Structure 1
Amino acid sequence: MAFRIPKAPGFAQMMKDGAKHYHGLEEAVYRNISACKELAATTKSAFGPHGMNKMVINHLEKLFVTNDAATVIKELEVQHPAAKMIVLASQMCEQEVGDGTNFVLIFAGALLEHAEELLRMGLSIPEVIEGYERAGEKALELLRDLTVSKVADMRDSKEVARCMKSAIASKQYGNEDFLAKLISDACVSVLPQNSLSFNVDNVRSTKILGGGVGCSKLIHGMVFQRQSESNVTRVDGAKVAVYSCPFDMLATETKGTVLIKNAEELKNFSKGEEDLFEKHVKEIVATGVNCIVTGGKVSDLGLHFANKYKLMIVRLNSKFDLRRLCRTVQGTALPRLTAPTPEEIGHCAAVRMDEVGDTSVVVFEKKPQDGSAVCTVVLRAATNNIMDDLERAVDDGVNNFKVYTRDRQMVAGAGATEIELGKRIESFGESHPGLEQYAIKKFAQSMEVVPRALSDNAGLNPTKIVSELYAAHQDDKNTSVGVDIEEGGTFNAVEAGVLDSYLVKHWAIKLATNAAVTVLRVDQIIMAKPAGGPKAPKQRGDWDRDADEH
């Protein structure tokens, strides 16, 4: 009786030809750690106020010049499965608290780097994981004790700007004072009077090329880079009707063929439709409406009647913009060209056409005392890349404000909190029996990655700075001593006003620890054979030329 000998021994005989399989420490665990370390090293140099920019060209050949880790990893499209886990943890942090993405990447990278040292020393993976999990829980417990202040009043823009400043400095170092004031004014102005339910979508930003960062300003209401369709370019005390349909003649109810024999009949036929359209416009004007916003095209006839009845017409192509405008003017978008009821009409102080630089804009302006539901930050800069970075700084500031509405606690920035956590977790490890204590101590050592990255990017000696920080933190009164990137050395971060949000730090430590532990739990990588048949042969020359012509 004959039987077939399997093509390959072991695991490979179960799989299709072309499947890949890695297992064990050398092949799987160390490979994964190596990929994650590379990713962390890429974003580490972009950490902090002196972080270097990355030039990323995505798959559509769009150029990004930024030190925002969230943008870099989003556009890079990381393929390695283990590195992807850390990227997902970082994106989760972005979704949860809108900041802390780079911290997650570099801290998870440091945890895995130290885990590799422990594994090479002879510890088993479960022991490392056990130690990391215990240290992570202890870190979150200790973090609550390290809060140094809180946002006293969410409606005081100076107080909000003070807390927001260091988050913005990591993106726009040098402009943080100006931008923090601008963003805090914007956030406070759209905060509802009787609650702290804040929607980040209510602070819009529009980018207009030209000028400098200092030319950026805040407008209560909305700004669109458009022009007025009609001759009217300004309306004060505007009553706004919003339509999601085109400003054109209504389509007739019945469809049919009309036989027209002479010019008189043609004139009478079109006149009937014109009279009907004019009647609709008159009805709209009779309600007091003096500005119309339409989501479709504006016909020549519509323009004629708009000019005749002194109506200002603004055309918006985006459904989202129409929705936001309805929220701003407190109006209702109507699907058909009918006269709005008083409840459906929106109101704002003025609708005007303006010119910022050489760009025409239409501004729907509300008075600050009216309590606008939406406000717009007009960003100015010399290049598109700087404006994109400014937009990300605004986004970070607004997300931080959202975080303060959930938890107002602040911790010391500039690496002070990380060094203090490291010191306390180190002593927690000392009191721990068993081999997990090595992993707990390595977790404490990983906390050094933040002050090291800050000092390294500022051109200082990381080892010298970290040893100075540890020396200062031996005194329990100096828990807020951090890296001084200006003078080179250490300073009291709280006195200097360098503060981080407690909630951002909490989530970042939690997610980075979870991501590192998940990567360590993987002991086998099995990759199925890629889909798709054999590759098509390359064509030589033009597709329609015969082979014998070559």
Structure 2
Amino acid sequence: MALHVPRAPGMAQMLKDGARMYSGLDEVVYRNVTVCKELAHVLRSAYGPNGMNKMVINHLEKLFVTNDAATIIKELDVEHPAAKMVVLASQMQEQEIGDGTNFVIVFAGALLEAAEDLLRMGLTPTEVVEGYEMALEKALEILPTLVCKEVKDLRDHAQVAEAMKAAIASKQFGHEDFLTDLITKACVSILPDSTTTFNVDNVRICKISGCGIFSSQVVPGMVFKRFVEGNVSKKTNAKIALYTCPVDIMQTETSGTVLIKSADELKSFSRGEESQLEDQIKAIKESGADVVVAAGKFGDMALHYLNKYDIMAVRLTSKFDLRRLCKATSATALPRLTPPNKEELGFADSVLVDEVGDTGVVIFRMGEGGSRISTVVVRGATDNFMDDIERCIDDGVNTYKGLTKDNRLVPGAGAVEAELSLQVGRFGEARAGLEQYAIQRFSVALEALPKALAENSGVKGTELLAKLQAAHALGQSASGINVETGDLLNATEAKIFDLFVTKYWGLKYATNAACTVLKVNQIIMAKRAGGPAARAPGGQDQDDD
């Protein structure tokens, strides 16, 4: 008879065999802090204009070479629950603002690193959290006083370019002037009358290999990497009919059998189908349509009649592209091959076939002021490089959207963090309780951001940070770090700006994530479902022969 071993009392008897539980400072808090610090240290070297790239290979073995924190954490597939909280805060920043993801992770990591020292000194996690929340409240109170500029006119190219340049330089340092001009042109050209309804999806990106980045351009309208289906390759002042169905002989809704007894009957049956299709194409032509765009295939007979009536045929396989084209041309997508009325027709200044490099494209070009959608045609040597440019353009477009919500700007180059660190530190010194230690550590954590900027620029971070602190102590609130020379500069005079909303939400999300991690005192892990993990993909083992 086998010896029966009773289950351990407590939490273990309540859960399935294989469940695990951790509790206490050593097992939970310090472990969680260590993991979050590691995540922050990985991404800290990618912070700022001179940030290093990371080479990430995801679970599908796709290669990413980028310094964009949002892409890195998305493809890393972080699993640890504490690190996941910081990742979720960063992703929320990406959804809210579209920029500042690395700011959130680096600052949250610095807060947790500072909290670890306080906990080892004897403070409780609750006291640290209370101090951090007081410091955050004070920092958000100080932040509006640091606003140095407002963008008065969102259609003014020069004002918008000044506000965007720093965000773009942080991703593509050296190409920021050209890309800023490109993105500003794309955004300003499609700004609706109600500036608060700007949609980032209205700026599309079409990547075409070859040439160099300086051959990139903005096209008012849409560009598709496709050829036309028929022989007609250009139309000006085009009226467009869009269909979600194939352009071919219509199939009947019910299956049936046709009994044909002679060759004449077969001829007349075929001729009847052909004449029906011709009547449909002719009716589309008489409605005024010059271009037919369809989501389905074009039949050979349909193409014959489209060429006969001088109608351009374009096929789009993506329903999202079809939907955006409807929006760009003010057309209505029709589910059946029926002639459109005037309200359902779309309009474009020109629809033409062109070649960009060796790639054939179809361009739906709109007027400079009348387009709802603009396309940035990105050129580059490799797919990885063009993907990085796409992420940079995405950040720039999101920065413009942030400007439509709040047009206030604060000094960049680490100036805001240094000034907040100084003022929050003074606020902490004036407090009498134990929370003063946490508030002062909050101010020290803020210094991690300008220090990371300095270190990534190849200078001694501690020395430059001391100079920066001295400048701010003398009242130079706009003093920041010059990443080119490794010295100080006036960020306002150098026209290096960050969005107010980026710093506001970044401080909030990072502090909330850090406080949430510190409030955890137990980890209870249920037994994983399923059997053993699957074998990693690879070649057959020779021993298995």
TM-score range, shorter chain: over 0.9
CA distance in 2 between partners of 1:197 and 1:12 (Å): 54
Aligned match of 1:491 in 489, 492, 506?
489
Query: Which residue in 2 is equivalent to 1:117?
Result: 117
1:260 CA drift (Å): 1.9
Map 1:19-418; keep pairs closer than 5 Å: 19-252=19-252, 255-369=255-369, 371-418=370-417
Render the CA deviation track for 1:167-216: whole Å, top value 9, x for unaligned. Answer: 00011111111111110111111011354420111110110000111000
Does the aligned pair in 2 maintain the 1:241–1:345 contact within 8 Å?
yes
User: Aligned pairs, how many?
Assistant: 539
Query: Which residue in 2 is equivalent to 1:545?
Result: none
CA distance in 2 between partners of 1:252 and 1:517 (Å): 64
1:254 CA drift (Å): 5.2
CA distance in 2 between partners of 1:75 and 1:53 (Å): 14
1:15 CA drift (Å): 3.1
CA distance in 1 between partners of 2:445 and 2:160 (Å): 31
Render the CA deviation track for 1:202-250: whole Å, top value 9, x for unaligned. Answer: 1101100001110000000000000010101100110110111101112
Query: Which residue in 2 is equivalent to 1:546?
Result: none
Aligned-partner residue type, residue 390 of structure 1: I
CA distance in 1 between partners of 2:18 and 2:222 (Å): 57
Does the aligned pair in 2 maintain the 1:30–1:116 contact within 8 Å?
yes
1:112 CA drift (Å): 0.2
Query: Which residue in 1 is equivalent to 2:420?
Result: 421
CA distance in 1 between partners of 2:5 and 2:300 (Å): 81
Matched, 1:512 2:510: yes
CA distance in 1 between partners of 2:167 and 2:65 (Å): 19
Aligned-partner residue type, residue 419 of structure 1: A
Does the aligned pair in 1 maintain the 2:44–2:102 contact within 8 Å?
yes
Does the aligned pair in 1 maintain the 2:195–2:404 contact within 8 Å?
no
CA distance in 2 between partners of 1:378 and 1:253 (Å): 43
CA distance in 2 between partners of 1:426 and 1:314 (Å): 63
CA distance in 1 between partners of 2:48 and 2:525 (Å): 37
CA distance in 1 between partners of 2:390 and 2:533 (Å): 43
Render the CA deviation track for 1:337-359: whole Å, top value 9, x for unaligned. Answer: 11100111111100000000000
Aligned-partner residue type, residue 146 of structure 2: L
CA distance in 2 between partners of 1:353 and 1:309 (Å): 19
CA distance in 1 between partners of 2:249 and 2:529 (Å): 54
The 3 A distance-change label for structure 1 pair 5 and 208 is: closer
The 3 A distance-change label for structure 1 pair 123 and 335 is: same
The 3 A distance-change label for structure 1 pair 308 and 153 is: same
1:266 CA drift (Å): 1.4
The 3 A distance-change label for structure 1 pair 5 and 317 is: closer
Matched, 1:501 2:495: no
1:258 CA drift (Å): 1.1
Does the aligned pair in 2 maintain the 1:6–1:13 contact within 8 Å?
no
Unpaired runs of 5+ residues, structure 2, are: none
The 3 A distance-change label for structure 1 pair 328 and 258 is: same
Render the CA deviation track for 1:399-447: whole Å, top value 9, x for unaligned. Answer: 0000000000000001000000000000000111111000000000000
The 3 A distance-change label for structure 1 pair 196 and 157 is: farther
Q: Helix, strand or coil: the match of 2:197?
A: coil
The 3 A distance-change label for structure 1 pair 273 and 210 is: same
Does the aligned pair in 1 maintain the 2:132–2:442 contact within 8 Å?
yes
Map 1:451-530; keep pairs closer than 5 Å: 451-476=450-475, 478-530=476-528
Render the CA deviation track for 1:473-497: whole Å, top value 9, x for unaligned. Answer: 0122x10101111111111011111
The 3 A distance-change label for structure 1 pair 535 and 453 is: closer
Aligned-partner residue type, residue 424 of structure 2: I
CA distance in 2 between partners of 1:227 and 1:43 (Å): 42
CA distance in 1 between partners of 2:114 and 2:252 (Å): 74
TM-score by length of 2: 0.96
The percent of aligned pairs where both chains have the same amino acid is: 57
Aligned match of 1:532 in 525, 530, 533?
530
Q: Helix, strand or coil: the match of 2:228?
A: coil
Across the aligned residues of Structure 1 and Structure 2, the Cα RMSD in angstroms comes to 1.9
1:322 CA drift (Å): 0.6
CA distance in 1 between partners of 2:532 and 2:106 (Å): 40
Render the CA deviation track for 1:289-321: whole Å, top value 9, x for unaligned. Answer: 111000100000011001111110000001111
Matched, 1:437 2:475: no
Aligned-partner residue type, residue 319 of structure 2: K
1:253 CA drift (Å): 5.3
Aligned-partner residue type, residue 513 of structure 2: A
CA distance in 2 between partners of 1:342 and 1:532 (Å): 59
TM-score by length of 1: 0.95
Q: Helix, strand or coil: the match of 1:368?
A: coil
Render the CA deviation track for 1:447-472: whole Å, top value 9, x for unaligned. Answer: 01111111111111000010000000
Aligned-partner residue type, residue 53 of structure 1: N
Render the CA deviation track for 1:78-107: whole Å, top value 9, x for unaligned. Answer: 010000000000000000111110000000
CA distance in 2 between partners of 1:511 and 1:143 (Å): 15
CA distance in 1 between partners of 2:535 and 2:493 (Å): 68
The 3 A distance-change label for structure 1 pair 384 and 534 is: closer
1:535 CA drift (Å): 7.4
Render the CA deviation track for 1:13-66: whole Å, top value 9, x for unaligned. Answer: 433321111110001000000000000001111110000000000101110000
Runs of 4 or more, structure 1, over 6 Å off, are 534-538
CA distance in 2 between partners of 1:536 and 1:155 (Å): 55
1:152 CA drift (Å): 2.0
Does the aligned pair in 1 maintain the 2:45–2:456 contact within 8 Å?
yes
Aligned-partner residue type, residue 24 of structure 2: G
The more displaced of 229-238 and 529-538 is 529-538
Aligned-partner residue type, residue 235 of structure 2: V
Does the aligned pair in 2 maintain the 1:223–1:362 contact within 8 Å?
yes
Unpaired runs of 5+ residues, structure 1, are: 543-548
The 3 A distance-change label for structure 1 pair 131 and 194 is: closer
